Structure 1
Amino acid sequence: MGVINRTPDSFYDRGATYALDAALASADHAVAAGVDIIDVGGVKAGYGSYVGVDEEIRRTVPFVRELRDRHPEVVISVDTWRAEVGRACAEAGADMINDTWAGADPDLARVAAECGTGLVCSHSGGLAPRTDPHRVRYDDVVADVVAGVCALAERAISLGVRPDGVMIDPTHDFGKNTYHSLELTRRLRELADTGLPVLVAVSNKDFVGETLGAGLTERGDGTLATLVVSAREGARVFRVHDVVAARTALDVVAAVG
């Protein structure tokens, strides 16, 4: 799953794919590199300027529509917590809604059901969208994540989301500190054992940087190591910035078996 941020203030690319032409060029490159899914987001995950529904739609829908025409074989995912945005993108051709804020808008799962898209069910520890954790605590972070994502998956299926379209994401760093994210990686098999496909989004995240004492541009090797561990522990979808490097590392994991 290759990341395309149609935002001027992304934590990683700092707006490199904010312009539509740049976003499409990046998607073309990712497809050529062997990506299976393109995940587009129109709002920075963390703190930043307010982005309304209409602006988020303006940033995402034209890209989804054009990408659908250019690459009909690629799965298109939209990273949003808003039902209105999810519906607009689905109508433009998106195949999946990546709800990274754990059902903050309860209507988003209904949109996925009504539009026939897949849905990623995530865990944010009860945080509202675009907020950071502060002294967050869990008795057992993995148990909390498993219970939370499974409950969201069961609700989605009960609303009519097709069962083969549901994935779960432990959502590293969202509502979690570095210890929690490392523990989730170490025990990722417990999520895979639920029988639901597991997505991991660890690319260049803060827990990798804090673990290694590495700045934002120095987290590539740590990201690849985390992807390899995640794959060995049962993850099946990998949301990344560097498709070429991730594809190479994961192909080796697959070959080893």
Structure 2
Amino acid sequence: MEQIALVTGGTRGLGAAISAALRAAGCRVAATYHHDAQAAEQARHSLGIAVFPWDVADAGACEQGVATVQEALGPVTVLVNNAGITADAMFHKMSAAQWEDVLRTNLGSMFNMTRPLIGGMRERGYGRIINISSVNGRKGQVGQTNYAAAKAGILGFTRSLALENARHGITVNAIAPGYCDTAMLAELRPERLQTIVAGIPVGRLGVPEDVARMVAFLAAPEAGFITGATFDVNGGQYLG
């Protein structure tokens, strides 16, 4: 069976590594992006994937986008909910917009992207859904009550959806990456980065490929007995 994979935020950083790993595993890959059209075009050429622009925080855009992808490539069998944003602030200084934007993009997108696809997966009796959470959704983080709440919410979403769909050949799992060497971390002050690395038992940051390999494993047909699980890919920083 040919696998059609849809990766949200799949043209940069961790998402690009996931798209590349799924492409290498033999999937036909579609990736969404929202703002960076230049990076999307580069990913399209370098990774050999299809790219589609829409905002995963917009339910209507997701429904239309999913229909466009399936018309172009065929029924989606693998969904990777990867897209996310940060808007960090101490909670006593956090604005309503910072709270709502992060919850809408990081957690609301779970519904927006999965709802248009779950019916078809159930009818076909097959599907792989992989949700990207975070180590900070597992342990919390100062200045990230919005982000941690959203990423923790993904874990409850994952478990419940897994139970609802296990008898329909659909697996639903989560990955909670630790700190990876991406553009987001490059914005941190050097001393802050040193503190983070010092707290990782393996002694280094992760790389996007560390997470992407786990996604490819869970997306495979052979992973059909694994569902409702959360995989911590964090170098030992959090042991849940």
Bin the TM-score by the shorter chain: 0.3 to 0.5
Q: TM-score, normalised by structure 1?
A: 0.38
Q: TM-score, normalised by structure 2?
A: 0.40
Select the structure that is richer in helix: 2
